[in-house]
Amino acid sequence: MSWPVRAVSRVRAAAAADGADRSGLAALLSVHALQAAGDALIAVALAGTVFFDVPLGQARGRVALYLLLTLLPFALLVPVAGPLLDRFRHGRRTVLSVTTGARGLLAWSMAGSLASLSLYPQALAVLVLTRAYGVARSAAVVRVRPPALGLVAAGARLNIVATAGSGVAAAVGVGLSRTVGGPWSLRLAALLLLGAALAALRLPAHVDEIRTSPGAGPGWRVRQAPDGVRRPLLASVALRAGGGLLTVALAFLLRAEHTSGPVIGVVLGAALAGSLLGTVLAGRLPATTTARLTGAGLSAPALALLVAAVLGRDLPAAVAVGTVGLAASLAKYALDAAQQTLVPAASRGSAFASSETALQLAWAAGAGVGLGLSALPAARTVCLLTAGALLAAALVTSHRISGSTPLRSRSTRPSPSG
């Protein structure tokens, strides 16, 4: 048996472990991996068009426009998408399929629009659909989690396949962009996303909840959340803001210094490596331990950022970025587990929509600050010190996270009746 066949067999066995094949989690893993790969290919194509393939000054304007576009989906996500997903919990498979399939059609259309302004509204639509998919997927995890697997571990398993799929797809996308052009990355993304849409329709029936009354569940607001949800949310918000600042500021700073492409890739890729390490840790640790690490570990990114600011070298910057990614990953898993455990099922869609909005707005705000600071003298030091201050604020707001409501996974998967 050749090594590719053995590798595929091992991946399938790992996906089906702990009863995931019977619960439906393995099927959701396939959907999530395909759509993550498609999103990565879209991101590669857009990165070339918006940042790498244009002069530095022009890139700043395009990145600023793209950041503004990232804010618009969340004007719809909380007041519209969250309550809508709460109302149609009985059609969750359809929601997952529509939000992936529509992205596939848009990706195919974008392949012919890379040089025109119509690219931006299409990218906006992709962002809206991506966030709506994320909300529906987070709610679906509770329905397909096998009894032997905790909520944090189930979420970590999803993130591992998404990271693997997006990593491979990004490498393929870079190769396609350099050889045959960015449009082919988008066409391949379209095929993967349409495949994910078909796979979503084949998810087990218990992913959908039984239709009850026609009314939607009660609305959900952050101020109504218990401390067990608010504390990891505050930590995640501060870490996302710091991550956005670092990503955008370092991208421009390294490019302005004529740093080679591989070095830029290593520094910015450190965030992905840190996130993956956080995924591995979250999947192997109890949820309560993950929550404690989220609180106590917030000091590590701040320290790493301050060291990088003093040394001003690429390697310390990469370590700092990776540490931020690690802390942000752990905080996000603690937040997801808290919402899946402590928020009523009837309001879970609104809860995930609200938290996703807060996290993405924090990232965009941090990125906007980084974009402005990257044009100043000694911007690297300013950016890293600012990120350190943001993370210190996260430490202050969440230092008692370990004392909040325990994030215990339910012992059994929810019944099909919800």
d(CA 294, CA 226): 17
Taking each helix axis from N to C end, the angle separating 227-256 and 287-296, rounded to the nearest 10 degrees, works out to 50
Q: Computed over its alpha carbons, how large is the radius of gyration of the chain?
A: 21
Mean pLDDT check: name the lowest of 291-295, 351-355, 370-374, 382-386.
Answer: 291-295
Residue of 102 and 116 predicted with greater confidence: 102
Give the confidence band of 128 by pLDDT, cuts at 50, 70, 90: confident
Half-sphere exposure (CA, 13 Å, Cβ side) for 335?
27
Q: Which domains does the chain have, with CATH numbers?
A: 22-208 (1.20.1250.20), 220-404 (1.20.1250.20)
On whether the pTM is more than 0.75, the answer is no
Range in 76-90, 104-118, 295-309 with the lowest mean pLDDT: 76-90
The DSSP secondary-structure symbol of 147 reads T
Whether 101 has a pLDDT exceeding 50, the answer reads: yes
Query: Between the CA of residue 19 and those of 25, 147, 149, 412, what are the distances in Å?
Result: 8, 8, 8, 12
The DSSP secondary-structure symbol of 378 reads T
Greater pLDDT, 370 or 396: 370
62-91 mean pLDDT: 59
Query: How many other C-beta atoms lie within 10 A of the C-beta of residue 84?
Result: 18
SS3 111: coil
Q: Is the dihedral of CA 372, 373, 375, 376 positive or negative?
A: positive
- Greater model confidence, 106 or 82: 106
Segment 308-323, tens digit of pLDDT: 777 766 677 778 788 8
Q: Which token pair is 81?
A: 């998408």
**Count of CA atoms in the C-beta half-sphere (13 A) of 14:** 13
Does residue 412 carry a pLDDT above 80? no
Number of alpha helices (DSSP H) and beta strands (DSSP E) in the chain = 17, 0
